[in-house]
Structures are given as structure tokens and as C-alpha cells.
Amino acid sequence: MKLLFLSQRVPYPPNRGDKITTWQLVDRFRKAHDVTVIAFAHDEADVRAARELRGMGVDTVPIPLNLKARKLLALPLLATSKPLTLGVFGSKQLKAEVDARIAGADFAYAYSSSMGAFLAQHDTPWIMHFAELDSDKWRQYAERTSWPMSWIYKREAKQLLAFETHIAGRTATNVFCTPLEEKIFQEHVPGKPSLVVRNGVDLEYFSPAGNAPEHGHLVFTGVMDYLPNIDGCQWFVDEILPRIRESVPETTFTIVGSRPTSEVDKLAETAGVSVTGFVDDTRDYLRRAAVSVAPLRIARGIQNKVLEALAMGLPVVGTTSATQGVEGEPERDYLVRDEAEAFADEVVRLLQDRVAADTLARAGRALVEERYAWSAVLAPLDAYLPS
């Protein structure tokens, strides 16, 4: 079967959340099908990655995208009823590539709603994979920001919901990462086909190191120009870390992730905090950490950072938002605390009680081994693809 795969970024290498999932999808599909990828190339690294994919036998068409410029060019859409997202990711070049290739495809797959816009007018059967339920994401943003951004985010949530409703009935099915997102979707767009396909984790790549962690070392991983990650780290440094250091003064907190904003870099001025920027391998920091923290206050989907830490055999303390997509048992597999004082108390307890920390870590690893191997979580998609 010939399959056309669309994504907002070239799906390789798997070094950030969206690329982790899109690479796993492409890698699975290419084993049984002839896959062509059309994706935006955000930088030269994406262009190189496209060449690597072609060398691996995956026909890949990178479409240049200057994200900052596109955001500015999309602003006039505020005077219309069109979502800004569709302006940012609108592309005559990408549309022309899709239009030229769709007739030769037996099936298509869109990862993120903005990619679904390029398939909605074609008759070829396709799957809409909502990487995040974007309308609900922007609603959360609106609740966490002040005017005028709160107004822009609220408007985007409304317009994207209308767009999501429009495309939902044109697909073979609509894929969500968590039952919660599927539930929200069904409340707003009842009766449309839907399927939950959880994110997974590479259990061989992310595996316990077996070494003793550095005492008091806390770690957070994620792309650091992403609002939920920025907000979470700021909250942790301002409200949680000082409480932890009162009990464990030697505590350090490392923020690991590419493209830190000026707000994130400024956090490194706080005692005990370091910001790495891009690193070749996040496992180097996860292996040294005593506890992984996920203090997200805005989130949907399954957080790869949580799955990877659990797979590495790290005890995890996170918020409800950060852990809501993980189908484990709180208190047994990971800890969930939403208030700064309670969050700090649990981190302190784990730092001071290695038996408790190790017990939690072993349970977390057992959870991902049982439920989050990529081969298992992606298997439900096979039923929707022509043989």
C-alpha cells in the first residue's frame, strides 16, 4: 500500500516530543507499506534529517518553514474567522506537493490538525491524529495568561474547535493520545469516529542505568520554548524548589532541553538551578538524577518526559496535568501533587528515603514495560489501514 504521511516537522530524529511519535509511526508504517513523508523543515537540521530518511528508504519532501515569519504573517487573520494556526502552517508549496501525490496514495495520515487541512478536500481515505487537542490547549493557555494574549488564545480555541469539528467527519477515524482528550472531543463533536492511541517509549533506549544517582539532583526535560514547559519550570523554581532546599540545601535542579527562552535562561540565576540548552542525549542527565519532576500546570496528552523518566527507573513527582495521560496508579507508580508545598514535601521525602524512591522507581519501570512499548500502543492503528 502507498501511504502519504503529513507532519508539522520532519519526523526524524526522535529528539523531541512530536518527532518521537511521528518517527515511531513512520517506522512502523514503512515496514509494511510504501511511505512518502511531506513535512515542514524548520531549520537546516530538518533538511539533513529528510536526507537521512531518504537514505533509509522513506521518500521525504521537506517544505521550508520560517516559523517566526509565518506567525507575523498570520496576524491579519485576527480580523477573520480563520484560526491563526492555519495561517502559520498554511503553505502553497506543501499543498501543491499533497495535491500532486494524493492521487497515487491508497491512504493518508495527518499528524496534527493543521496537517489535516491539506487532506480535508480529497477523497483518499485518511486518519486525523490529534497530537494535542489544540482547541483545548489554547483554552488552557487563555486561562493562564493576561490580556491581550488571553483574548488571542481564547479566540484561537474557538476557531480551532470549529475547524476540528469540520475535519472530524471527513476521516476514517480521529486519533487521540488519552481517553481524556477523546472524551473532550466527543463532548464537543459527538458521534464522530475516534480512537485512543497512547504514546509509547523505547524501552531499550531508555532503561535503568544501575548507577547511584547524585544526591539531591532533580531533572526536568523538554523543549524549552514551549509555554507549558516554561510555565512549569518557572513555578517550580519560584514556589517549589525553595521549599525543597530548606530541607535539603544541596538540592540542584537541571532544566534539560533545546531552545530555552530568555525567561528560562534567567532561571539559572537562582541558586542550584542550571539550564543546559540542547543536549545530544537526555539520558546523560536522567542517569545522574535522583528524582524527575514534571511540574506542568498546562498539559494534554501523554508527556514523553514522564514516560522516559519512568523507563529510566527514576522516581517521578508530577502534577495532575503532567500525569493525567499515564494509565498507571498514582502513589504506586508515580506521585501526583498539585500544590507547591505538597509537591516539595514529596520530593524531599524521596531524596531522604532511598528505599521509598527505589520502590517507586521499580514500579514505574514495571508500568511502562507492561503498557507502553511502542509495538503494543501503535497496534490498534493496523485495523484502519488497508492491507
The beta-carbon contacts of 279-284 under 8 Å, at least 24 apart in sequence, are 282/221, 282/256, 282/308, 283/205, 283/206, 283/209, 283/312
Residue range 170-205, pLDDT digits in tens: 999 999 998 989 999 999 999 999 999 999 999 999
In the predicted structure, residue 349 carries a pLDDT above the cut 80 = yes
Residue range 92-148, pLDDT digits in tens: 999 999 999 999 999 999 999 999 999 999 999 999 999 888 888 889 889 988 999
Q: Take residue 235 and report the three cell numbers written for it.
A: 513555578
Domain boundaries, the chain: 2-199+374-384, 217-371
Question: What is the number of H-type helices and E-type strands within the chain?
Answer: 18, 13
> Do 2-199+374-384 and 217-371 have matching folds?
yes
User: What's the pLDDT band for 209 if we cut at 50, 70, 90?
Assistant: confident
How large is the average pLDDT for residues 309-328?
Answer: 95
Amino acid at site 184: I
In the predicted structure, residue 367 carries a pLDDT above the cut 90 = yes
Residue range 244-260, pLDDT digits in tens: 999 999 999 999 999 99
pLDDT at 22: 97
Amino acid at site 323: T
CATH of domain 2-199+374-384: 3.40.50.2000
Q: Rounded to two decimals, what is the model's pTM?
A: 0.89
Could you please state the CATH topology (level 3) that the domain comprising 217-371 is classified under: Rossmann fold (3.40.50)
